[in-house]
Structure 1
Amino acid sequence: MDHVSEVISRAFHDSEIAKHFSCRRTKFAAIAYNILGNNFEEKMLAELRPKLENETERNPVFSLIIDKSHMSVLPRCQSFLIELSNQFLQRLPVQDNFLQDLSFIDHQKAVYGEFRTLIRILRRFPNLVATENMQILDNEYRELKLDLSMTNLLSTSSSTSETFMLDTFWSEVSQICDANNKPKYGNLSRFVKQMTILPLSNAKVERIFSDINRIKNQDRNRFNNKNVAAIMHGKEGLRQLEGGCGRFDPDRSMIKLMDSKQLYDNDTQHKDEES
């Protein structure tokens, strides 16, 4: 970045804009830390926040698995894991019927299965469903079994195809409205979506660790956590854009921050690069 300004002015010597272009290492670091990183982080958080439709809406839940199970295990570590598993079997209720209770989310069983109550499984997740809302959710499940539109939904040609999956069914259920044009099964479909969040792979997490190692390496070991996070948010934000960096178009919120006060008065601007 210390040489880019001169390269641009020489390459576009007939452009007045290019002649006055100036963006060296300090300014570029400020942009990365205080504008790109912060902005992409806010966009990410906005996507994670729930769109509150009523006061009973709960925060979204995400499941993340971080481990080293893909690596070869030394015999000593293997013995430790075996003993740890044995201790778990003695202390944890691994024989309970939790997964069996979850069978209610299967679209065929949800519509054609026997009548049952969901209270037992709802009580296991008080952070997702408040006590006063458990009966409301249970009533929605019971009403769903008597709803002829559910039978019609499963009898369509799309329901017999291989692409008609559980998430597709519950997504369509969540869009069914009552006479007041409000979601008829909003609480139930929301709870089902939360129950289907299962960890599948830690590859994404491992890639992020690799990115961090490339950013904070032996030559740049004085990077603090805030600046590393800002660079990571910038990288991930640009990755999500269709066309990547080449088609990046800064929005108004970024442009408004492009002044000296916003760039250099932010407490996330440090002297990492000066070393």
Structure 2
Amino acid sequence: MTPTSLAEQQIDDQWRKLPKLKKDLDTSQQPDIFWHKVKQFEEFSLVAQFMLNILALPNSNAECERVFSPINDTRTKNRNRLITETIKGNMLAKQAICRHGGNCVNFLPTDKMLKSFTSEIYKKWEAIDSDSD
């Protein structure tokens, strides 16, 4: 692969000169520690920063899966007409209950919550649902 910019060329040049410096560094260290020490040498700062940036990238999609799994549990074949706001509300409610160490058995809604559970909330959602059709 040929470098296409000056910065890429400088990183490539520093990478090729790196074996000279390697003798002065402990290559058995953790990668982030190794590259942080390499960055201390000004002539290798670009390649070191590039490598540190690469190390910062997520190496899996586990975080995305942690979000989509509960969504798929909520939006099932029988509940496929749920709108995004309903799913979002369901997930936020679950997170709030768990954050306070509770569960669906011992959760006690506040008076404000109980007062807001009236037939008016259905009218509001019906209006939103009809707008999206």
Which TM-score applies when normalising by structure 2? 0.44
Instruction: Using CA pairs under 8 Å that are at least 6 residues apart, name the structure with larger relative contact order, 1 or 2.
Output: 1
Which TM-score applies when normalising by structure 1? 0.26
Structure with greater helix percent: 2
